[in-house]
Amino acid sequence: MKKRGGEECQQKSANVGQDLEARANPASAVLSVFKVFQQELDIKHDKYERLVKISRDVTIESKRTIFLLHRVTSVPDAEALLSEADTKLEAVRQKIGQIAEELRGEDIYQFHRAFTPGIQEFVEAASFLHYIRHRSLISLEEINARLVFVGSKELDNKDSAGSPEALTFQVTPSDYLLGVADLTGELMRLCISSVGNGDIDTPFQLSQFLRQIHDGFSYIGNTGPYEVSKKLHTLRQSLGKVEDACYTLRVRGSEIPKHMLADVFSSRSALVDPDEGSA
């Protein structure tokens, strides 16, 4: 499909070229030079568009995985749900493999803007899953270690020997950072909903974890990219909500019987809900 797109493009440009040639000097050196430029630019733009498309797919699938993971609190069989999330993330991983394929031999920063939203969303989903499983923060290396792809299905004539060459995709530290910042919003939602389900332990674990992340971000401060300081604000809000929840649990927990606490919080989470859109 890629190939056909390229041919169409060239054909179209050839027509335009002929029109112009008829008007201007046909043997012009300038025109022939610009024809080369045209091809070079088109190839670059096509690649960029393809990357944007893959990145969108990655974003959508990662979002779905996150939604799926939010159900973990209300489902009896959490393990089945987690393995479903695993398969979903595997599909996302394959998509990232396509990105890596596109970027083979390119400067990844040249096209970075095309795929950075997708990668951030992937980091968010992967770290969310990791947290639910292991109650810890996935490290950048662990993420990168997963993004190693062996060979390509396509018959690329670049590696004619057919040796399965390892293709890696490196998540940049700033993408990782921004993804983790998004993760905190998800953790806040997880906290509120787990209280709603009468789970008393999770909120305290979460508040501790969020506090660690918050401290980490404060440590980085404004050395990071510009977006980090924006996200820090939302992070503070999320942390505030979680800490409030823990506070209420502690205070009310001593006076209300456990089975009634759930009711207190299901009305409370309804109160919190409206701001979540901004988080």
Partner 1 sequence: MSVTEMFSYLQGFLSADQDVREDIRKVVQTLEQTAREILTVLQSVHQPSGFKEIPGKCAKARELFCTVRTQIAQLKTKFPVEQYYRFHEHWRFVLQRLAFLSAFVVYLESESLVTRGEVAQILGIEVVQDRGFHLDLEDYLAGVLIMASELSRLAVNSVTAGDYSRPIRISNFINELDSGFRLLNLKNDPLRKRYDGLKYDVKKIEEVVYDLSIRGLAKEAESVSDK
Task: Write out the residues near partner 1 by the rule CB under 8 A.
Answer: 13, 16-17, 20, 23-25, 28-31, 33-35, 37-38, 40-42, 45, 107, 109-110, 112, 136-137, 139-141, 173-174, 176-177, 209, 212-213, 215-217, 219-220, 223-224
Toward partner 1, which CB reaches closer, 173 or 240? 173
Helices (H), the chain: 2-23, 29-70, 78-102, 112-134, 140-146, 173-196, 201-220, 226-253, 258-272
Q: Which residue has the tokens 């508040």?
A: 207
Question: CB 18 → partner 1: shortest distance, Å?
Answer: 11
Question: CB 243 → partner 1: shortest distance, Å?
Answer: 17
Q: What DSSP designation does 197 have?
A: T
Question: CB 31 → partner 1: shortest distance, Å?
Answer: 6
How many angstroms separate the CA atoms of 90 and 107, rounded? Answer: 25
Cα 186 from chain centroid (whole Å): 13
Q: Is 186 annotated as a binding residue?
A: yes
Q: Is 124 annotated as a binding residue?
A: yes
Toward partner 1, which CB reaches closer, 90 or 142? 142
Toward partner 1, which CB reaches closer, 45 or 250? 45
Toward partner 1, which CB reaches closer, 68 or 119? 119
- Amino acid identity at 261: L
Question: CB 132 → partner 1: shortest distance, Å?
Answer: 16
Three-state DSSP state, 112: helix
How many angstroms separate the CA atoms of 83 and 81, rounded? Answer: 5
Question: CB 57 → partner 1: shortest distance, Å?
Answer: 21
Q: What angle do CA 242, 248, 254 make, to 5 degrees?
A: 140
Toward partner 1, which CB reaches closer, 13 or 266? 13
The phi-psi region of residue 106 (left if phi > 0; otherwise alpha if psi is between -120 and 50; otherwise beta) is beta
**Would you say 192 and 270 are in contact if contact means Cβ atoms under 8 Å apart?**
no
Query: Which residues are documented as binding site for Mg(2+)?
Result: 124, 186
